[in-house]
Amino acid sequence: MRIVIVGAGLAGTQLARILIEKKHDIAIIEANEERARHVSNRLDCMVLQDEGNSISALEEAGIARADALVCVTESDEVNMIICGLAARYPKLLKIARVRNDEYVRRNFQNQVDGASMGIDFFVHPDVEAARTVLDAVEHGAVGNILSFADTPYQLGAIDVPAASSFNGLLLKDFHTVFEGESLITLVNRKGESILPTGTTRLQQGDRIYLLAREEELNRGFTLAGGQEKPLRKIGIVGGGRLGSLIAAGLLKKENRREPDREPGKTDEAGTGGKKTRGFFSFLKTLISGSLKKIVIIEQDYGLCKELSARFPEALILNEDISDESFVTEERLDDLDLIVTATEHQELNIITAVYLKSRGVARAIAMVTGSGYTAIARQLGVDVIIPMKSVVVDSILSKLMGGGVKGVHRIGDGEVGTLEIDISPGCPAEGRALKDFRLPEGALVMLVNRETEPDFIPRGNYVYTAGHRLILIAKNGTEGELEKIFGAPK
């Protein structure tokens, strides 16, 4: 694919690097001279130092023959204007990163009414991050959780400490300690991603990725040494957009349904669900009724007044979280979970670590990029969510052609999960899994079917058109997998 990216910030650069590794033809437009020079020296692609809302710059970047346009500048309005300028190219896929809730809601309503703002997908960073937080909270915030559309299975990242039941265990014996249908899909060991076999022996310090049904996944965390504890009192540090969305999800706000979607259409949230839902449809009931108390800590007084009006059932504290006396006075150490969601990643990490040292059971910290993830994990933060990586994964899911419906990078980023539909007449159709060789570094984890239960396939599974596969695959194999499972050309 030829893809034009406007904006060479962290998200734009990270996206470009991944797409270049996947052999896509990339052109970047960046207005800032220093940033453009920096990217040009580090990425093997065309880089133009120009304004993205310049028609001449778009034309020079090859917009006329491009397959997709991705706008990730720091301005919502600029991103939307650039997509509007590209409206003359009807076959061009247009994606805009937009943080303003009203723009997103209006675009969704326009689509329901048959109108459009000319943008195929909005990517809302806070919505994507909040969805990830709520998935983690649903499982006790014991580790990062990856959910898949329309399936009860989830993929959990579980650390293996010395006292774990998994330490020293051969994978062929895994089911002797973990009953139920499950699959160890990946082992991350000392920075290396390993696609395991039955002879792989788990070690202290490994991070394993366990695929299991939602109700069974928590047992995997418990066997690994985690302690199950109900999350009845949750603190959120930062009451901005992200903190508000997390609070709304925990307090079950704004839950609503929209009309059925047309066949083949993804929902506005990009989940590929069977129903078209509002962009904020992830604010579903995730937490049981036993959850009684939400505490939001925000330093800005005006914002606290808004939060009090919006969330009357929550305790809003207008305080500085870095004030040690405040932590003691308000007894924040009796929280079951702290979610640090300010705009400052260092503060988020330090706050999470400090409150855990004071007795808070679990901590979720938001960071800007993946660079701080390993550091925060070593310091004891239970769940770390890199905002830019979440946004990039969402964009990648929308860029994938053919039957690919979802992309999420895991481990050290060299491996990812794919959701891909089996097309009629594809090379794999009618072949048994054990008899049809996939590219090296690819593994079928799960088979998702419309009208029958999902299952983890064994060797005798026959690839069937209409089934959706969830695979784990090393970077660079996506093109081959699309050829294997996509519609014949």
Query: What is the per-residue pLDDT across 199-250, written as a single tens digit (0 to 9) for each?
Result: 999 998 888 989 988 778 878 887 876 655 678 889 999 999 899 999 998 8
Burial of residue 59 (CB within 10 Å: 0-12, 13-18, 19+) is exposed
- Domain 233-390 in this protein, CATH class: alpha beta
Identical fold for domains 2-123 and 144-223, yes or no, is: no
- The per-residue pLDDT for 398 is 83
Mean pLDDT of all residues in 108-128: 69
Q: Tell me, what DSSP letter sits at residue 422?
A: P
Is CATH 3.30.70.1450 the right assignment for the domain spanning 400-485?
yes
Confidence of residue 368 (pLDDT cuts 50, 70, 90): confident
- The per-residue pLDDT for 412 is 58
Confidence of residue 292 (pLDDT cuts 50, 70, 90): low
Tokens of residue 106, six digits: 């209006």
Mean pLDDT of all residues in 381-392: 87
Per-residue pLDDT at 411 exceeds 80: no
Helix (H) or strand (E) holding 481: helix 478-485
Distance CA 26, CA 45 (A): 6
Q: What is the pLDDT of residues 136-177, one digit of tens each?
A: 887 677 667 777 767 888 888 888 888 888 889 999 999 888
User: What's the CATH code, domain 144-223?
Assistant: 3.30.70.1450
SS (H, E, C) 99-141: CCHHHHHHHHHHHHCCCCCCCCEEECHHHHHHHHHHHHHHCCC
Domain ranges within the chain, ordered by starting residue: 2-123, 144-223, 233-390, 400-485
CATH topology of domain 2-123: Rossmann fold (3.40.50)
Amino acid letter, residue 80: M
- List the single range of 114-118, 407-411, 427-431, 441-445 with lowest mean pLDDT: 114-118
Distance CA 385, CA 364 (A): 8
**Is the model's pTM score more than 0.85?**
no
- The per-residue pLDDT for 73 is 94
Helices (H) and strands (E) in the chain, counts: 14, 21
